[in-house]
A = this chain, B = another copy of it.
Amino acid sequence: MDSVLVMIDHPDRPRQDPAEALRPEDAADPQVLVNDLGITRGDGIFEVAGSVDGRVHALQAHLDRFARSARLMDLPAPDQPVYRAAVHTALGRLAARLPGRELSCKFIMTRGLEYPPGAHGPTGWAVAMIAPDYRPQRRAGIVVVTLDRGVRRDVMQTSPWLLAGAKSLSYAVNRSVVREAVRRGADDTLLVSSDGYVLEGPSASFLALIDGEVVTPPASDGVLPGTTQADAFAWFAQQGIPTRVRSIDCEELAGVRSAWLTSSTRLAAPIRELDGRPLDFDPDLTARLNEHLLGRDG
């Protein structure tokens, strides 16, 4: 299996050298106990960063969001230098074997063992792997259907215990909505709130060109703050295309001419059909955006 795994020890106090916390292991060997809360309860957090030739895309943004998810879930703060070192170690080793290939690195921190209670710290690792080949979707676009996420747009404020905005390991629904999209003949889904606002994809941010501006919903609407979305917005601004973070009413979707789902490994996938309606997309603009996103370092 083409992957490189680095397990992370979580000592009681920070180490002088983050590398001391890293333990390279074989991803083909079992590493997780059956009573780890990561598997018994989906009780942990994760991030996935893209990479080419050892350059890691938006790593600080991923580490910051990892820390934000930990706060939302009452988890201990992840040791950023240690997770950073783990990601660089795993990706560096795999990139050395696979120059020029698009890679990704998933890093995970769970709440640790379910029992005995209190006798342990978190479980963590970073695993580098070959990214799926998303070039066809970037070029030809994807077919998207909207699906109800079931919760109101303001649920992050009214009911923080629902963990909206946390990138948790409890992603069974994020996967089931894709199965439902495929049943409906689509590639992916755009989740909407029960009170009629656009949210995000199950593993992507939604960006739409509306009235000459590229618009995306704010994190306060209960969506993940997109690392790729943020870098795409910076690039659009450089191109002289105005951007705005604001709530999007579902009724506005009828007026959207162009839209993208952005994420760390697929990058900017233009939506060619939304709920059965063809959208325009600018292949040149999207190609230049993805070229920029692939070249990021940091």
Contact = CB atoms under 8 A, between A and B. Distances in A.
A3 B116 CA distance: 11
Interface string A1-45: 101010000000000000000000001111111111111111110
Contacts of A34: 5, 27, 31-32, 108, 125, 127
Contacts of A171: 40-43, 170
Contacts of A116: 1
Contacts of A161: 147, 173, 176-177, 179-180
Contact of A172 (B73, B151, B158): B73
A151 B194 contact: yes
A10 to B, nearest CB: 16
A169 interface: yes
Interface of A: 1, 3, 5, 27-44, 46, 73-74, 106, 108, 110, 115-116, 125, 127, 129, 147-152, 155, 158-163, 166, 168-177, 179-180, 194
A101 to B, nearest CB: 15
Nearest to A28: B33
Contact of A31 (B27, B32, B170): B32
Closest 5 CB pairs of A and B: A42-B42, A170-B170, A170-B172, A32-B32, A161-B180
B35 A27 contact: yes
What is the oligomeric copy number? 2
Contacts of A166: 172
B168 A169 contact: no
Contacts of A29: 30, 33
Most chain B beta-carbon contacts within 10 A, residue among A27, A28, A149, A171: A171
A187 to B, nearest CB: 15
A149 B171 CA distance: 17
A31 B28 contact: no
A112 B125 CA distance: 19
Contacts of A162: 148-150, 173, 176
18 contacts: A3-B35, A27-B34, A32-B32, A32-B34, A32-B36, A36-B39, A39-B44, A39-B108, A40-B46, A40-B106, A41-B42, A41-B172, A42-B168, A43-B171, A44-B172, A150-B155, A162-B176, A170-B171
A151 B40 CA distance: 24
